[in-house]
Amino acid sequence: MVQPDEERPAFLRKDGHVAIITMNRPHAMNAVNAAMSIALQEAVDEFLADPELRVGILTGAGKAFCAGADLKEVAAKRSLIGPDQRERGFGGIMKQLLDKPLIAAVNGYALGGGTEFVLACDLAVMSDAATLGLPEVRHGIIAAGGGLLRMSRRVPLAIALEAVMTGAPIAPEEALRWGLVNRVVPADQVLDTAIELAGKIARNAPLAVQASKRVLYQAAAMSDWEAESWKLSDDAAKAIMRTADAKEGPRSFAEKRKPKWEGR
């Protein structure tokens, strides 16, 4: 029997071409345990498998986005991920580049693993009352869920070093100034703003959006003067030009109508 959404530790609902994925342990500030990690991966896989869903939003139920690892589970020496999630990391997104865009709607507290979820997303909308940060060093550990790998790619190295070595919280205005998030809005506008941003993306040709995302990430570590970089871009362009959507785009423009994307 399918559980009602309020009983699931994570669930997906559809809003047109947008998937809204909610971490749903509000009593624990959406801290990650194995059950939530597994449910979250199932929701992500549902999003990826549905051709009608073009953009995803990750958010939290209640007043928190995600408080990171459930320390009660850690203290009890229980795993925070399912037995088959080691290759993908918790939530099924930490170690896998998703084809489709994913936006973090940071509705509240997001420290440790919560910030690592934000960093694993492509874009982020943050509440002006929320907080980010990687405080792991204050507890004798490190941000091993991707925080150390991704922080310096999002902000200047000196800022990343300060963030991870002090463990200090990052206020919304700092997060926006350094490019950790794309928008900072009042708490009651976070999800609506994320949906609006997702809608702007979803109106575009889905395969072209996915190819653009893939090339940007792969090229980030390369010089734009290297032959390998241009091969990456040229190969993606050739593949896209063979799609039905690439033909529909110019045709709809010439016929002065909205394009009808097929995702093929």
Report, as residue numbers or ranges, the catalytic residues: 116, 136
Model pLDDT for residues 245-260, shown as the tens digit of each residue:
878 877 887 788 888 8
Alpha helices (runs of H) in 23-146, residue ranges in sequence order: 34-49, 71-75, 113-120
pLDDT top residue among 212 and 7? 212
What one-letter code names the amino acid at 200?
K
Max mean pLDDT range (50-54, 76-80, 244-248): 50-54
Measured at the alpha carbon of residue 217, what is the angle toward residues 160 and 53, in degrees to the nearest 5?
115
Q: Identify the pLDDT of residue 235.
A: 80
**pLDDT > 70 in the chain, percent:** 95
* Average pLDDT value for residue range 46-72: 95
CB atoms within 10 A of CB 137: 13
130-162 pLDDT tens trace? 999 999 998 888 898 899 999 988 999 999 999
Q: Averaged over 199-207, what is the pLDDT?
A: 97
pLDDT score recorded for residue 1? 33
Identify the pLDDT of residue 48. Answer: 97
Please, what is the average pLDDT of the chain? 90
Q: With bands split at pLDDT 50, 70 and 90, how would you rate the model's confidence at 193?
A: very high
Q: How far apart are CA 65 and CA 63, in angstroms?
A: 7
Output the pLDDT for position 2: 39
Helix (H, G, I), strand (E, B) or coil at 3: coil
The more confident residue out of 182 and 76 is: 182
Residue 176: closest CA among 122, 121, 128, 134 = 128
The residues, any chain, with a CB within 8 Å of residue 77's CB and separated by 6 or more, are none
pLDDT of residue 226: 67
Whole-number pLDDT of residue 72: 86
Exposed / middle / buried, residue 91 (Cβ in 10 Å: 0-12, 13-18, 19+):
buried
